[in-house]
Amino acid sequence: EIVLTQSPATLSLSPGERATLSCRASQSVSSDLAWYQQKPGQAPRLLIYETFNRATGIPARFSGSGSGTDFTLTIRSLEPEDFVVYYCQQRSFSLYTFGQGTKLEIK
């Protein structure tokens, strides 16, 4: 099973700043990576799929990058509504795993 480790667990920034969230896999991720955003009391929402691609309706300030075992979600110029929790996810051999999440909080 591929383990995904997200860092940091909590990221404290101010609106307008740039956020860089990391997701590291225990083995090379051959099927690319997805990122989700989860607001309190809501279901997760797909942000980025196949490492780079923004899902429908996702603002351009969200971008994904990486390959192999190291992946990054970047949020350029944080908006107040961006201060929630983010998860990375991969699929390997028909099994799915999620990272433990990064909480983005207002500094």
Contact positions vs another protein (CB under 8 A): 31-32, 34, 36, 38, 42-46, 49-50, 55, 87, 89-91, 94-101
Q: Which residues partner with 13 through β-bridges?
A: 106
Complex with another protein: residue 2 or 19, whichever CB lies closer:
2
Min separation Cβ 14 and another protein, Å: 25
- Helix segments in 3-105, DSSP class H: none
State the burial class of residue 93 (Cβ atoms within 10 Å of its Cβ: 0-12, 13-18, 19+): exposed
Min separation Cβ 15 and another protein, Å: 25
Min separation Cβ 57 and another protein, Å: 12
Dist. CA 80–CA 50, nearest whole Å: 26
